[in-house]
Chain A
Amino acid sequence: MKERLTCEGITKDFVNPRSGEILRALGPIDLAISKGEFLAIVGPSGCGKSTLLGIFAGLVQPTAGRAFIDGKLIQSPGLERGVCFQDYALFPWLTVQKNVEFGLRARRVSANKRYDTARAFIARVNLAGFEDRYPHELSGGMRQRCALARVLANEPEVLLMDEPMAALDAQTRQILQDDLLKIWGDGSTRRTVVYITHSIDEAVYLADRIAVMSARPGLIKAMINNDFPRPRPGVREMPEFARRTNEIWQLIRDDALEALASTQK
């Protein structure tokens, strides 16, 4: 079956501890993601994108509905679903090398094999030479790459990424986006990627499909087929690019304005 990640009827409610009021943060969501697809999720703050990712990751339990990977129910984290967190979540007490080895260590891979595998992936993300540095000694872009290497070292079939480039400056971001696409692969070796971002530009540049979410409750407002041909180095100059980003922006705009107003209350 070509569907890699699916979910049906996913909802997530939060209970206000003081008033007992139930707030529906997310859902209901139905989604089907194909093998090797790059899906981006965009939406205003508070629309539940991170929660949805958390459900796919097995870190968050939905209030209702179920999520599946290759037909199997998702209930807890698993190696086949690698997660890249927003602030990288690198272990500050471990060097780059040791951070990347972590998942291998958890699987009891032998020390030699661990060392070599980690080394290879560190090189793949262009971080060679920094293996013995600690996270706090690295720049934002380097930390991002370290987090990526750590996830990739386990060769997951699915990559779940929660605003991985949010904390980076624009130039670093562009370089890393291209790196990510390279790592994403070609043809049949392509991994499935679910990529959350605030940046519409980024979504249109990277993704095959874009899910546009609205907030309160978080729902998928629209599914955009983003079928620009790959590779896409010059796509940003194309007029269709601007049209597509504008189209998405129009969908989000009202929600975004409302989100802004509510935070100022």
Chain B
Amino acid sequence: MLGRMTRGAPVQWARPVVRYVVSLGSFVLVWYAASRWENNPNLLPSPQVVFKQFVLMVQSGELLSSVWSSLGRLLLGYALGALVGVPLGFAMGMYLPLDQYISPLIEILRPISSIAWLPLGLFIFGVGNALPLFIIFYGSVFPFVINTIGAVHQIDNRLVAAARTLGAKRWLVIFGVIAPAALPLVLVGARIGLGIGWMAVIAAELVGAPSGLGYLITWYETMLLSSRVLVGVFAIGMVGYLLDLGLRKLSAWLTPWWDGWRAND
């Protein structure tokens, strides 16, 4: 029935929007009904309470400053991870002996998730900014290295051959051919690293930081203010989604020639 109602070209783009609204709308309704049935505002706050708290938290500036703190840590740790991981990945991708030396270390450390470092990290760094930075760096550096190595390995050899037959010497080959050719997959690694990094910030803040979204939700949890906890949770999801979207758009802009973006959405 909805199909018949919405036939016609100008409405084509509206269909997915309508579906989205209907779907989430129903979800909110079910949520509302469940909260009424459960009738325990600490356990399951109703949608309107959560929304009201959201507005209050935005107005007080609390939500935005928490987002800001978390983002700041993320960007710093993530940038460090990129600065270390990408050049290392390139070097390892191009020189096999280097890969053979370093890979074992990577394979040993990688299974120890960044979160497993929290207790030791807490001991070394204490509560503060250094701990989240380390955890984020650690979590994001591995996707950068591994994906960059893969990116270098999948480069079509003929591109390098063509460059050499056109007279390119070593540095032009590296910066003019290998770097751009590897860029799409390096950016895929960047996306993965960003997802891990965002999760690592929250995890680190849950345990050992005095500010940020992770700290926010755990603080309100001890206050038993579940509505505010939910605001924080949705904020975490929203920021994570926007970060990923932003990186995807940036990647598509940087590498317009690559058609893998369709597959990776």
Contact = CB atoms under 8 A, between A and B. Distances in A.
Given A103-B167, A134-B256, A154-B167, A83 B161 contact: yes
A106 B180 contact: no
B162 A83 contact: yes
B169 interface: yes
Contacts of A134: 256-257
A151 B161 CA distance: 13
A59 B113 CA distance: 44
Contacts of B156: 89
A79 B156 CA distance: 21
What is the size category of the interface that chain A forms with chain B? 20 to 34
A87 B157 CA distance: 12
B159 A79 contact: no
Interface in A33-92: 57-59, 76-79, 81-83, 85, 87, 89-92
B253 to A, nearest CB: 12
A135 B165 contact: no
A113 interface: no
Which secondary structure characterizes the binding site on chain A? loop
A83 B159 CA distance: 12
A150 interface: yes
B165 A57 contact: yes
Contacts, number: 72
A106 B161 contact: no
Tell me which of B158, B159, B181 has the highest count of chain A C-beta atoms within 10 A of its own C-beta.
B158
Given A91-B180, A93-B257, A85 B162 contact: yes
Contacts of B180: 91, 93
Contacts of B255: 93
Interface string B154-193: 0010110111111111001000110011010000000000
Contacts of B159: 89, 91
Given A85-B161, A89-B162, A91-B159, A106 B169 contact: yes
A61 to B, nearest CB: 13
The 3 closest A-B CB pairs, nearest first, are A103-B166, A89-B162, A92-B257
Interface of B: 156, 158-159, 161-169, 172, 176-177, 180-181, 183, 255-259
29 contacts: A59-B164, A77-B161, A77-B167, A79-B167, A81-B165, A82-B166, A83-B161, A83-B162, A83-B165, A85-B162, A89-B158, A91-B159, A91-B162, A91-B177, A91-B180, A92-B181, A93-B183, A93-B257, A102-B168, A102-B176, A103-B167, A105-B172, A106-B166, A106-B168, A106-B172, A136-B257, A136-B259, A154-B166, A154-B167
